[in-house]
Amino acid sequence: MTPQDLEIQNLTKKFDAFTAVDDVSFSVPAGSFFSILGPSGCGKTTIMRMVAGFIDPTSGDIRIKGRSVLDTPPNKRPVNMVFQHLALFPMMNIAENIGYGLRRKGVAKDEITRKVGEVLERIGLPDIGQRKVDELSGGQKQRVAIARCMVLEPDVLLLDEPLGALDLKLREHMKVELKTLQAAFDTTFVYITHDQSEALVMSDQIAVMNHGRFEQVGTGQELYYRPQSAFVAGFVGDSNRWRGKVTRAKAGQLQIITEAGLTMTGNNHRRDLSVGDAADIYVRPEAIRISRSADDLAQFENKMSGTVASLLFNGAASRLILKTESGEEIEVTLPQSGEFAGVGRGDTLHFGWSGEQANSFAASEDFTQVYQ
Amino acid sequence: MQSIYQKAARLLSTVSVAALGLAGAAQADTLRLLTWGGYAPEDVVAMFEKETGHTVEVTLSNNEEMIAKLRATRGGGFDLAQPSQDRIAGPQAEFGIYKPIDLSKIDAGQFIGSMLEATKTNTTVDGEVYGVPHVWGTSGLVVDTAKAGSVKDYTDLCNADVAGKVSYRLKRPTLIGFGYAMGLDPFAAYGDEAAYKEVIDQVEAKLIDCKANVKTYWGGGDELMGLLRSGEVVASMAWDTGGWKLNADNPDITFVAPASGALGWIDTFVLPAKGKADDAAYDWINFVMRPEIAAKITDAAGNFTASKGADEYVSADLKARYQASFPPEAVDNIKWYPPVPAGLEMIEGAALDRVKAAN
Amino acid sequence: MRAGSKLGFILLFTPLVLWLGLLIIIPHIDMFLISIRERIGVGKYDTSLANYLTFFGEPLYMLTFARTALMSVLATALTLVIGFPVAFYIAKIAKGRLQSALFLLCLVPFWVSELVRTFGWMILLRETGVFSNLLQWVGLADQPVEMLYNDVAMMVGLVYTSMLFMVVPLITTMESLDDSVIEAGYDLGGNGMSVMREIVIPHAMPGIVSGSIVVFMLSLGNYLTPTMLGGKDSLWFTELIYSQFIVRFNWELGAAFGFMLLLLSSIIVWGTLKLSGQTLEKTMG
């Protein structure tokens, strides 16, 4: 097996009694975009700082291109980091900023000038070498911060929520641009964020992290459609959630009666739930189909009707809150195909979803947790 | 030609001045006293305040600062000051910071006659008397007789056997004392700038020569006391009272009148030009010159006063120390400072600067 | 401008103008006028530059000034060399309570007057003092050692007195340096030396310059420390000024000395600013 660009083995970091990172292992293949997604305080920054070399792990190993780097100080590791607030050197101009690492390596002066010119060209800002840091826009700074690392041709580039400080529009734009830059430089990116959309859009692989552990590692689709834990289901995307009891379990199908008395059917997705178990059931608003007539929903295992309690208009992401006869509130996505243009408060609608789209887990405390 | 208004105004001002004068005499004043440490002990101030109803505000200082303060305010801010008698005529002629003393308001009978007359002569400018004597004393040598028995005169401070263990001030008394010890007569040369410069030049050479022997030039009395008490310095130029004070703690250390003569000074009473409470000032002078009060001041300051008959009230210890340091012939040998003619200080200053800079 | 806001403006600026005028400008004008007077007889004065000529004509005064300036520069440099690591530690390495405790330690000496602080050093350094006894007790010296009354003692006193005024501006500028900028310096291949040289020091430059100016001025204008710790060889320019004013009654020469001190120290500060490429606005702002 060829060595991976970055391999983390049983990495643990304890601060006194607190375990920030708890026995985490993963590997990142060359040239891929790997994200660690988790709420603040989950330990993702600690992992990144251990990889960069600013913190020593309590136990475990970090390998880059097959070689352990535990004994290598940060300034000698073949990894570079783009900091949350970019950490450009305000006392230097752009060319000096980018050339800093090369100067440290003892590269000849004209070679530095050439390489800096090249990398500025690649990030599409060829003429800003003599400018000062505070003369650049947020997006330009972002690109310079990446160029400053990439000019050193690191094996792995670490990015610590670099988009956090940007405004929404620019952030959307930079997501695409980062992905493009990663492809252009063909370097392994390890990206940490608490923003699921950043992770979903850019990453080849995403690790969802909580309380120092990885909950699930997979592609964006896997996390979204097949969350393996209640935490992932709750953290990635939105979900309607119910708590209930399993009343029937047969051939991969579960029947659950919620606390409010609704009966739901769902696929167990090979999770071990049997009759009598307490279970949490997660259904995404966008997995629920609405209709004016009950007939359209014949193919779904779960069918209900309710009145529109409120309309949350948000363009493409508009939602309806429907109230069932038993008083349960359910959030569903409002399709923008024109069919429901006239829907308003008090209208009665039918809705349903397939058991395949529901995810059921053994009841856990993550049920009540609200993130973001 | 005088207008009626001017006449009226004149009359009015005369009346009001008289009224103010009457009011001033009747009411108690605040006496702002610029003096030396020990010259206005708290118990004496309390007795004075009780007897006269005046209040006394005491500011402690030294000769140079007193004159500098009065010069800065052109004689204001204080009602009574106590510079040395040699520092009155010169500054008065130069800066006009004092006002003449009304001798009729002073009880001359309380003073030692010869001292009063001498001070009056020395402090006379343009026929007006500006000072009357209060406390007198000498400066000479304070010696640890057990460790520096060889030191009998100022120039002995430069002896090899006390190298690194002596101290003196870099001020004018040192120049004058060394001058006498070298067989010169600085006071006689006071009137002739050229002659005086010659004297000072010789002293300067001697002091530069002697510099390696000196531990440090002391600046304040407390500093000197510390140096002598710790034994870091075994002989120094100093005031008599300093020696007597140390003698109480360590019988080996005492004041020695130098062979060439101690230098005598008299601190006086003068009225600052812009003083506002002259009556209180005269009251204070007459009060503190009473023999029993003067003795209290002697006990506090360590120095004797110009008050006639105060000796009887002074503590026996102090008298004994005084007599040990001053056998009768040493008293006769005291060199009293004559008034310093203006301009000499420049010569002295330049010499002292050069001594300090020398290596 | 409406009357109301005009009144507010006047009220706002009156204290400043009074302070500047009464306490700074008028005394300086008065001093200058005194400095160009020449005493030609008892109570008689003439306008001339004689006092300034005296300053330049007497090598002693120039020598004293040069010595004072050089020693002050040296004291400033030493304070910077000692204060910089201290400030770096307090601003960047110490955290939480340790940080405030260390900062407080820097302040503590200033809770007592300069006189008491200087006396403290005298007690430590004198022949019968703490260090001397300690050395004898340890066996490094077989007789009392005098450590007072020399240039080293004076330098120790000056550095000690000035430390706070160097450390505070340094801490302020270094605290404004984002930790991640230092980390980025290491991450991109820098070592301790190069991060200091290329990142921390350039960032702290305004603090270094403003701290140095303050320390230099304080040392140059210090009177107590050189006189008391330096002893018989101290020879400090402020001492000359003091003795001209107070001891010699020669205000004219003292005022001229004061003006020379003001002028020459301004030239030195200006030169330092030019050399370090800083401006007064940047360092004081």
Report the pLDDT value the prediction gives residue C78, as an integer from 0 to 100.
96
Per-residue pLDDT at B252 exceeds 60: yes
* Secondary structure (3-state) at A264: strand
Instruction: State the pLDDT confidence band at A270, using cuts at 50, 70 and 90.
Output: confident
Report the pLDDT value the prediction gives residue A324, as an integer from 0 to 100.
87
Helix axes B193-210, B172-181, angle to 10 degrees: 90
Per-residue pLDDT at B231 exceeds 60: yes
User: Using CB atoms, which residue from C178, C181, C194 is nearest to A104?
Assistant: C194
Structure tokens at B29: 């004043």
Q: Are residues B217 and B323 in the same domain?
A: no
Report the pLDDT value the prediction gives residue C15, as an integer from 0 to 100.
86
Asked if the Cβ–Cβ distance from C189 to A76 is below 8 Å, we say yes
Contact with chain C for residue A105, Cβ under 8 A: yes
Tell me if domain A6-231 and domain A232-368 are identical in fold: no
Contact with chain C for residue A93, Cβ under 8 A: no
> Domain limits of chain A?
6-231, 232-368
Of A299, A313, A293, A221, the closest CA to residue A265 belongs to A299
User: Using CB atoms, which residue from A75, A81, A84 is nearest to C190?
Assistant: A75
Report the pLDDT value the prediction gives residue B27, as an integer from 0 to 100.
58
| Contact between residue A333 and residue A286 where contact means Cβ atoms under 8 Å apart | yes
Superfamily grouping for domain C54-284:
MetI-like (1.10.3720.10)
Contact with chain B for residue C55, Cβ under 8 A: no
Q: What is the mean pLDDT of residues A345-352?
A: 90
Report the pLDDT value the prediction gives residue B289, as an integer from 0 to 100.
94
Instruction: State the pLDDT confidence band at C3, using cuts at 50, 70 and 90.
Output: low
Contacts of B350 in chain C (CB under 8 A): 58
Asked if the Cβ–Cβ distance from C180 to A85 is below 8 Å, we say yes
Tell me the CA end-to-end span of chain A in Å, nearest whole number: 40
User: Using CB atoms, which residue from A91, A92, A104 is nearest to C190?
Assistant: A104
Contacts of A15 in chain C (CB under 8 A): none
Give how far C104 is from chain A: nearest CA, Å: 28
User: Using CB atoms, which residue from A54, A91, A100 is nearest to C188?
Assistant: A100
| Contact between residue C185 and residue A88 where contact means Cβ atoms under 8 Å apart | no
Contact with chain B for residue C257, Cβ under 8 A: no
The answer for residues whose C-beta is within 8 angstroms of residue C144's C-beta and 6 or more apart is C127, C128, C132, C133, C136
Q: What are phi and psi of A42, to 5 degrees?
A: -85, -10
Report the pLDDT value the prediction gives residue A22, as an integer from 0 to 100.
92
| Chain C: residue whose CA lies nearest to A153 | C188
Contact with chain C for residue B151, Cβ under 8 A: no
| Chain A: residue whose CA lies nearest to C192 | A75
User: Using CB atoms, which residue from A74, A90, A91 is nearest to C187?
Assistant: A74
Asked if the Cβ–Cβ distance from B349 to C149 is below 8 Å, we say no
| Contact between residue A286 and residue A345 where contact means Cβ atoms under 8 Å apart | no
Contact with chain C for residue B93, Cβ under 8 A: yes
Instruction: State the pLDDT confidence band at C285, using cuts at 50, 70 and 90.
Output: low
State how far the Cα of B37 lies from the Cα of B88, in Å rounded to an integer.
20
Give me the number of domains chain B comprises. Answer: 2
Instruction: State the pLDDT confidence band at A124, using cuts at 50, 70 and 90.
Output: confident
pLDDT in tens, C90-99: 998 888 899 8
- Provide the chain B residues 281-320 that lie in CB contact (below 8 A) with chain C: none
Which residue has better confidence, B118 or B8?
B118
Structure tokens at A323: 């109230």
The answer for residues whose C-beta is within 8 angstroms of residue B244's C-beta and 6 or more apart is B254, B255, B302, B318, B321, B322, B325
Report the pLDDT value the prediction gives residue B19, as an integer from 0 to 100.
43
| Contact between residue B204 and residue B185 where contact means Cβ atoms under 8 Å apart | no
Asked if the Cβ–Cβ distance from A87 to C178 is below 8 Å, we say yes
pLDDT in tens, A179-237: 888 888 889 999 999 988 899 999 999 999 999 999 999 999 999 988 988 899 888 88
Report the pLDDT value the prediction gives residue C171, as an integer from 0 to 100.
92
Per-residue pLDDT at B2 exceeds 60: no
**CA angle, C146 then C147 then C151, to 5°:** 130
Dihedral of CA atoms A39, A45, A50, A54 in degrees, nearest 10, equals -160
| Chain A: residue whose CA lies nearest to C198 | A91
User: Quick one: residue B42, left, alpha or beta (phi over 0 = left, psi -120 to 50 = alpha)?
Assistant: alpha
Structure tokens at B216: 């440090």
User: Using CB atoms, which residue from B68, B164, B231 is nearest to C245?
Assistant: B68
Give how far C203 is from chain A: nearest CA, Å: 6
Give how far A79 is from chain C: nearest CA, Å: 8
- Provide the chain A residues 126-165 that lie in CB contact (below 8 A) with chain C: 148-149, 152
| Chain A: residue whose CA lies nearest to C182 | A87
| Chain C: residue whose CA lies nearest to B61 | C246
Structure tokens at B273: 């030009």
* Range among A300-304, B130-134, C38-42 rated most confident: B130-134
Mutant choice from C149, C248, C251 vs B, greatest count of B C-beta within 10 A: C248
Mutant choice from C31, C232, C240 vs B, greatest count of B C-beta within 10 A: C232
Of A184, A173, A183, the closest CA to residue A204 belongs to A183
Count of beta carbons in the 10 Å neighbourhood of residue A216: 21
What type of residue sits at position B344? Answer: L
Instruction: Tell which CATH architecture fits domain A6-231.
Output: 3-Layer(aba) Sandwich (3.40)
Report the pLDDT value the prediction gives residue A99, as an integer from 0 to 100.
93
| Contact between residue C220 and residue C64 where contact means Cβ atoms under 8 Å apart | no
pLDDT in tens, C237-262: 998 898 888 877 788 889 999 999 99
- Poorest-confidence range of A62-76, A149-163, B312-326? B312-326
Task: Quote the DSSP letter at residue B103.
Answer: G
Q: Are residues B188 and B279 in the same domain?
A: no
Q: Which domain holds residue B171?
A: 139-262+334-357
Of B102, B104, B39, the closest CA to residue B66 belongs to B39
The string of DSSP letters for B321-344 reads HHHHH--HHHHHT-EEPPPPPTTH
Contacts of C184 in chain A (CB under 8 A): 81, 83, 87-89
pLDDT in tens, A128-141: 889 999 999 888 99
Per-residue pLDDT at B16 exceeds 50: no
State how far the Cα of C183 lies from the Cα of C199, in Å rounded to an integer.
10
Asked if the Cβ–Cβ distance from C233 to B359 is below 8 Å, we say yes
Query: B252 to each of B153, B228, B256, B322, how far by Cα in Å?
Result: 17, 11, 12, 15
Report the pLDDT value the prediction gives residue B275, as an integer from 0 to 100.
92
The answer for residues whose C-beta is within 8 angstroms of residue B330's C-beta and 6 or more apart is B257, B261, B262
Q: What are phi and psi of C94, to 5 degrees?
A: -65, 145
State how far the Cα of C124 lies from the Cα of B126, in Å rounded to an integer.
54
pLDDT in tens, B84-94: 998 898 889 88
Helices (H) and strands (E) in chain C, counts: 15, 2
Domain topology for A232-368: OB fold (Dihydrolipoamide Acetyltransferase, E2P) (2.40.50)
What type of residue sits at position A117? Answer: G
Report the pLDDT value the prediction gives residue B20, as an integer from 0 to 100.
43
Per-residue pLDDT at B280 exceeds 90: yes
The answer for residues whose C-beta is within 8 angstroms of residue A84's C-beta and 6 or more apart is A160, A161, A162, A164, A165, C180
Q: What is the mean pLDDT of residues B26-34?
A: 81
Q: Which DSSP helix (H) or strand (E) runs through A286? A: none
The answer for residues whose C-beta is within 8 angstroms of residue A70's C-beta and 6 or more apart is A56, A57, A61, A62
Asked if the Cβ–Cβ distance from A152 to C188 is below 8 Å, we say yes
User: Using CB atoms, which residue from C178, C187, C194 is nearest to A80?
Assistant: C187
Pairing of strands B124-125, B128-129: antiparallel
Per-residue pLDDT at C146 exceeds 50: yes
pLDDT in tens, B211-227: 999 998 988 788 888 89
State how far the Cα of A217 lies from the Cα of A32, in Å rounded to an integer.
14
Report the pLDDT value the prediction gives residue B130, as an integer from 0 to 100.
95
Q: For residue B327, what is the domain's CATH number?
A: 3.40.190.10
pLDDT in tens, C151-176: 899 999 999 989 999 999 999 999 99
Asked if the Cβ–Cβ distance from C42 to B95 is below 8 Å, we say no
Mutant choice from B211, B216, B224, B355 vs C, greatest count of C C-beta within 10 A: B216
Mean pLDDT of chain B: 87
Q: What is the mean pLDDT of residues C124-128?
A: 86
- Poorest-confidence range of A86-95, B132-141, B174-183, C137-146? C137-146
Mean pLDDT of chain A: 88
Asked if the Cβ–Cβ distance from C42 to B94 is below 8 Å, we say yes
- Poorest-confidence range of A24-38, A179-193, B149-163, C271-285? C271-285
Give all chains having 3 or more CB-to-CB distances under 8 Å with chain C: A, B
Contact with chain C for residue B209, Cβ under 8 A: no
Give how far C140 is from chain B: nearest CA, Å: 20
Contact with chain C for residue B232, Cβ under 8 A: yes
Query: A176 to each of A161, A162, A170, how far by Cα in Å?
Result: 15, 14, 10
pLDDT in tens, A38-86: 998 899 999 999 999 999 999 999 999 989 999 999 999 999 999 988 8
| Contact between residue A265 and residue A355 where contact means Cβ atoms under 8 Å apart | yes
Chains B and A touch, using 3 or more CB pairs below 8 Å: no
Q: What is the mean pLDDT of residues B269-286?
A: 94
Chains C and A touch, using 3 or more CB pairs below 8 Å: yes
Report the pLDDT value the prediction gives residue A53, as an integer from 0 to 100.
92
State how far the Cα of C126 lies from the Cα of B112, in Å rounded to an integer.
45
